Amino acid sequence: MIPETSITFAGSFLDRADALRTDIPKLDEHIANPTSKTLPFWQGKPLFDLTPDGPRLAWLPVTDDLITGAEIAPALLGLDKDGVAHFAADVSYIAPPDEKPAEFVDKRTLDLTETRKFVDLRAVMGEVTHEDAGVAASAKGLFEWRNTHMFCANCGAPNTVAPGGWRMDCTNEACKRAHFPRTDPVVIMLILSSDNVLLGRQSFWPERMYSLLAGFMEPGETIEAAVRRETMEEAGVPVSDVRYVVSQPWPFPASLMMGCSGKAESMDIHLDKNELEDAIWVSKDEMREALAGRNDRIAPARKGAVAQIILQSWVDGIVPGF
């Protein structure tokens, strides 16, 4: 079994304290409390302190000018073991410096100081601690959801963020529909035939990069059925037995990756070029070399991605074959 602490973005050191989101008096007390902490996000990027040990989330007092200048009150992420409230705030109102406008078109950071910057979470996900990654993923997923639900899906009127930050309310008095965050389920599969694994690649991926096949689930579909359908659609390989392996929140923008293993009934590949650029079978020995960076043919998925974690666990014997 793969431990949860090995999965980037899985878990959090906070109690989500969901009941507090609707307890407005207590919520207001935490927002006014100078000991409460807030993680700022600028255009979807969390604020990091760039330390010698790697990037660490930069928590600011909830009363910091950067936070109080935001148009929307911070969203409650939860309480730590000492009862200290942790929030996330969208501070995208900050504009890039006038003298360097082009820098912010091309770079994925916004500098506040020499060592404190807003950085794209995906760019550093292999370097952040397990605790930081889980909290950052929760906040990023929440803000991504907000950005795509600015209008009511029922009547089209503008939505407004409810206190606590985890609900959007329709402003149309005749509708007043409440909207809650959504997560898109995705299956990602370790398709095995003896000591061989099926890998695929997209045309826009970095050179030589191959990864596990994956795809979105459809309404009325089980996880097992989605694994079989996606494998057949993309590579034309029939799959029989399917086992659950592990899951990973993936806030780019709002997915839950459900890792499974599947037993291939054939090694014949019938590639759908509309789905993949290429698909290949790779032996366990070759995969071991690729994960170690010693293979000239294959570069594995990026560090922190659940595909690499599953493949490494299979190579190490943690995830069994069929």
Which residues are paired to 51 by β-bridges? 54
Strands 255-264 and 184-193: parallel
- Burial of residue 305 (CB within 10 Å: 0-12, 13-18, 19+) is buried
State the fold for domain 184-315.
Nucleoside Triphosphate Pyrophosphohydrolase (3.90.79)
Tracing tokens 């097992």 back to the chain, one arrives at 224
pLDDT of residue 113: 75
For the chain (322 residues), the mean pLDDT of every run of 10, in chain order, is: 90 93 95 95 93 94 91 94 97 70 47 82 91 95 94 98 96 97 96 97 93 97 98 98 97 95 98 95 97 93 93 96 94
Residues 6+ apart with CB under 8 A from 121: 44, 45, 46, 128, 136, 137, 140, 251
- Residue 79 to residues 14, 27, 98, 199, 279: CA-CA distances in angstroms? 5, 11, 38, 41, 45
Rounded Cα distance between 188 and 17, Å, is: 31
Give the closest residue to 63 by CA, choosing from 83, 41, 89: 89
Phi and psi at residue 300, to the nearest 5°? -75, 170
- Burial of residue 144 (CB within 10 Å: 0-12, 13-18, 19+) is middle
**Residue 67, amino acid:** I
Tracing tokens 């989605």 back to the chain, one arrives at 226
Say how many C-beta atoms besides its own lie within 10 A of residue 212's C-beta. Answer: 26
- Answering whether pTM is above 0.85, one says yes
Which residues are paired to 45 by β-bridges? 42
pLDDT of residue 112: 72
Q: What is the DSSP string of 62-75?
A: TTSHHHHTSSSPPE
pLDDT of residue 108: 47
